[in-house]
Amino acid sequence: MNTHPSFRFTLGLLSLVCLAGLGHTAERVQGRSMVISTHGIVASEHPLASQAGAQVLAEGGNAVDAAIAANAVMGVVAPMTSGLGGDLFAIIYEAKTGRLHGLNSSGWAPSGLTIEFLRGQGFTNMPQRGIYSVTIPGAVAGWDALQAKFGRMPLARLLAPAIRIATEGYPVTEIVAGYWKASEKFMSADPAAARMFLPDGRAPQMGEIFRNRDLAWALRQVARDGRKAYYEGAIAKLLLANSRQHGGTWTATDLRDFRPQWVQPISTIYHDWTVYEIPPPGQGIAALAMLNLMEQFPLATWGRDSVATWHTLIEAKKLAYADLLRYVADPRFAKVPVTGMLSKAYARERARLIDPNRAASVVPPGRPPEGGTDTTYLCAVDAEGNMVSLIQSNYGGFGSGLVADGTGFGLQNRGGLFSLEPTHPNALAPRKRPLHTIIPGFMTKGDVRIAFGIMGGWNQAQAHAQFVANLVDFGMNLQSALEAPRFTKLTFEGADVEIESRVPASVRVGLAAKGHDLKVIAPFAQDVGGGQAVMRDFARGINFGASDPRKDGAAVPEPVK
């Protein structure tokens, strides 16, 4: 019998479908079923966003149209995680050509923001909040680029659901209400932010209706005039006024000149699956490097609930992230050793540093050979097999904590990831993009394509690697792979690691014996991030969707007329 992990994964999918016709049900190993359809599916972190995207599909839009519509709604219903003030990355699979396209729409530093300027202001480290932490937001330019290259519907139609929801209001959902409450004190520091997002002096509670007519106005400007409204028109004027008010260095040309970048996704082979990420300055390369390290060990033989498997995953994370922090930067300004970092030979060399009996507390970066808190993730697949893996973020909850009066959206704090060390590859420089945490994922094998992503700052690359292992090594289906318990290590040194309480107690005891300093967290914890995934089986013409219970979201199929 074929026991290859990828065979078990395919067999698991087929079994799940076939069991629907039997007179009994299989033992449940997951909280909810996959969504399965011959039509399109949109999976996001909020049912209203997924619904908006699915309706676009029903009206003849494609996966890109659906993703833009869903993303716009997410900026309304979860304003602390995403919106017009954030950045955007995407991987697009074009069914008719079989090509993958990558989009980096992360913002650059304004031209007047330099290391010398900040040191003159008394800063010794990069500010994490306030105007100096804000790079030029890239989300709207990203929508414009996606729609122009792939879209079938005008922005006016795609943004219509978000405009209506912002105008009429929506009930705040459970997890979003918790995020909002956690930012209450922080948001009260900026009068414009407090007026916008703390009505009656407090965060709205679960089930309360929240309206954002300022955001509806801003969305209408973009619906009518596209990127020009944001980077040159009425919204630009408000953003520049906000910068001046807070002592920022933004100029009109910083906004007007900004353009996203079409990039070639980078990849590695994990067993017989090809896994893709956006290239630097994103952290996706760490997910691929981590997979290369994991591939050196017999995880499938050990099993998911073995101490050896969990120990290896945690140690591989430390090695991959040490190189991430040392080398990843904007490749227009620094030489990033991408080929070397993804070399299988380099992975074998680094994997030998993993002590099977002891957790490492200090992991230095290697020397790759030279070679040629808050985020929202969503994905979509249409009936033709076009697919989008899209992630958009303000970084910290409500980003910089600043709102330009009249706009209705918070500004990200992505600039906080720059270094003020002049010799570091990720050193701050005008019109440079910082090291970025948000990453969309994609993977392929034979006739199967999967778009996936898991949000959560520095959690993302390590969560991607765990998700891929769940599918490839442990034969899980799409939903189980998202739901399965995860670990996260949000620091770069020490033996500390957070691990969900659903990980068997015997595993946790074994990890502690190896020196891991475990913090046991909730069974479906926010720190390990929430994700979404869609899959296309081209051989059968069937789409699958999955949504992580760690979020309020859902995978919603295209309505059938």
Residues recognised as catalytic:
375
- Are the CB atoms for 316 and 354 separated by under 8 Å? yes
- The sheet that has 517-521: what strands, in order across it? 487-488, 496-500, 517-521
- The sheet that has 554-557: what strands, in order across it? 261-263, 99-105, 87-94, 387-395, 374-381, 41-44, 554-557
Residue 177 CB contacts under 8 Å (≥ 6 apart), including other chains? 203, 204, 205, 206
Residue reference for tokens 């922005």: 155
Residue reference for tokens 């065979």: 7
Assigned token pair, 512: 């502690």
- Are the CB atoms for 136 and 411 separated by under 8 Å? no
- Are the CB atoms for 230 and 219 separated by under 8 Å? no
SS3 category, 421: coil
Q: Check residue 282 and report its DSSP letter.
A: B
Tally of CB atoms within 10 A around 41 = 34
What sign has the CA pseudo-torsion 504, 509, 513, 517?
A: positive
CA distances in angstroms from 169 to 27, 209, 211, 214, listed in the order given: 41, 6, 4, 12
Measure the CA–CA gap between 457 and 529, rounded to whole angstroms.
Answer: 8
Per-position DSSP letters for 160-180, written without gaps between them: HHHHHHHHH-EEPPHHHHHHH
Assigned token pair, 189: 């520091």
Measure the CA–CA gap between 472 and 460, rounded to whole angstroms.
Answer: 18
Element (H, E) at 206: none
Task: Give helix then strand counts, H and E, for the chain.
Answer: 22, 19
- Comparing CA positions, the residue from 141, 160, 134, 149 lying closest to residue 72 is 160
User: Residues in the chain, how many?
Assistant: 561
Measure the CA–CA gap between 546 and 483, rounded to whole angstroms.
Answer: 9
Measure the CA–CA gap between 355 and 375, rounded to whole angstroms.
Answer: 34
Computed on alpha carbons and rounded to an integer, the radius of gyration of the chain in Å comes to 22
Assigned token pair, 112: 């007047």
- Are the CB atoms for 181 and 203 separated by under 8 Å? yes
Residue reference for tokens 């001046």: 244
What sign has the CA pseudo-torsion 139, 435, 442, 50?
A: negative
Beta bridge partners of 381: 41, 387
